[in-house]
Structure 1
């Protein structure tokens, strides 16, 4: 209460404690997500980011723990953070917990400083595309695949048809373009901090300690320790959250989707696929 009254209180009565808003960006980065398993995207994080930058004070702290995911959503979140930092004239401190890899690291470079634990995983500056081929399986179980398209490339990379060389080449070209965008963004933000290492942009990842040597990380430490050291022992860390009740958490109210048994079942199936995709992202880093 005293902090709210600070502008009208005598100077000697005003609270001098520093309050630093904290955003937690934890999880895989995917567009949409599901009702039962939300993911990181601009839609799911924009409110938190806006709220954090509305706090008084010069600093916003962001905790990141993400194995990556969608490059588009990663860049959109990155851009929203940088746009608000410039608009509000605030310093952004990013703290890496277990991992900030691939798209997670892309978001991390939105920070003016990146602080990691020595055992954190950072990097993986690359692009990956994974799918499955089911041509032999459908033959064994006696399924006939019927595909009709308008446009000769509309069925490219269909997992139920044999892989075509020209489709793979087209995908690789696309991935190289996305990779270049990622590299340019890291170089722009980290500039002279980056080491001259040929493996830096190959998709490899490193510990936080090695990441500091390579210039991917500025320093080692934890959020509470670093913030209290910089702003004083009375510094308060204020976690920014979105109010969510029991029902809204599962999308049961405020949704255009009917609460029918098929709708609930479909949401459950979506959640299973999302969970499998997220598990695959984490497992690449042994987590």
Structure 2
């Protein structure tokens, strides 16, 4: 049979077409994923840039702010009243520590334009050692410059070690509602003997020296420990009493045992008891007693730049961790 030409057998082209379409779809998806990955990478890079630029800008602003002239001693070239603030718990590791407070007091005494010193107290007390160091140094400095009066001005509270410091001043003033006093000494502890028995815990303590486990909270109180602790507290209490009597003189009735019992009183009651000399604020004392109304703060302040740098370092670390987390999301 004659034919117009030979044709190959008819093939199923649908299968080939589906495969081509699948390959093309995969290629497009791959290109799309690569493109989106590049975009995400660019966004992350920009985010990092914004973070670092913002932190640098914040650091510069903070640095300029901290370097701006403060108001503490900028006007020290003219007559003024010096002020040293004693605030918070008095202890070696707090801002109200002897080294810091004494430095401010010495600077005030060294100033030729300072006419007097105000100790502004707002403290519940604290370490008898730190308070004693400050008291001793005030008394020593007063002897070197008798014409330089020292006034203690109480704000909300001046108790225990705070009052130990205040009595070194020539005069003490407070608000009528201030809390003043607490001339006493205390030692606190806890006892866990019954808790140990109930929980079935065995206490193991090895010591060399019969009193090395003195007032061990995991053992019952021993009479000898109590006697020794009481004797020590009485000695420190008597030191406190002697300092108060020496500082206040005849302004208090030393025979009034309640004054040294650890009680505290309002400023109004303290005036009647002779614990303070009057009711006045720092500005009133500067104006009416010193005659130099401008008050300049001589209190040594913490190095805020170092503290800011430490805080900034922690902030950067936290920001970097958060940024890394963002890039993984």
TM-score class, shorter-chain normalisation, is 0.7 to 0.9
Counterparts of 2:237 and 2:161, CA distance in 1: 11
Counterparts of 1:217 and 1:184, CA distance in 2: 17
Is 2:86 aligned against 1:25? yes
Instruction: Between 90-99 and 56-65, report the one with greater CA deviation.
Output: 56-65
TM-score by length of 2: 0.66
Offset of residue 177 of structure 1:
0.7
Is 2:198 aligned against 1:143? no
Equivalent residue for 2:225?
A: 167
Counterparts of 2:167 and 2:309, CA distance in 1: 32
Counterparts of 2:97 and 2:242, CA distance in 1: 21
Is 2:261 aligned against 1:205? no
The size of the alignment, in residue pairs, is 237
Question: What CA deviation, in whole Å up to 9, does each residue of 1:215-254 have, x standing for no partner?
Answer: 110111111022112344x62100113353435348959x
Equivalent residue for 1:128?
A: 186
Offset of residue 138 of structure 1:
2.9
Counterparts of 2:305 and 2:203, CA distance in 1: 41
SS at match of 1:139: helix
Paired residues for 1:46-195 under 5 Å: 46-56=102-112, 57-89=114-146, 90-195=148-253
Residues 219 and 141 of structure 1, relative CA distance in 2, 3 Å threshold: same
Q: CA RMSD in A?
A: 2.4
Question: What CA deviation, in whole Å up to 9, does each residue of 1:184-208 have, x standing for no partner?
Answer: 1111111111035331111111111
TM-score by length of 1: 0.76
Counterparts of 1:160 and 1:86, CA distance in 2: 49
Unaligned runs of 5+ in 1: 5-14, 254-258, 261-287
Q: Which has the larger radius of gyration?
A: 2
Unaligned runs of 5+ in 2: 1-73, 315-329
Counterparts of 1:168 and 1:162, CA distance in 2: 11
Offset of residue 120 of structure 1:
0.6
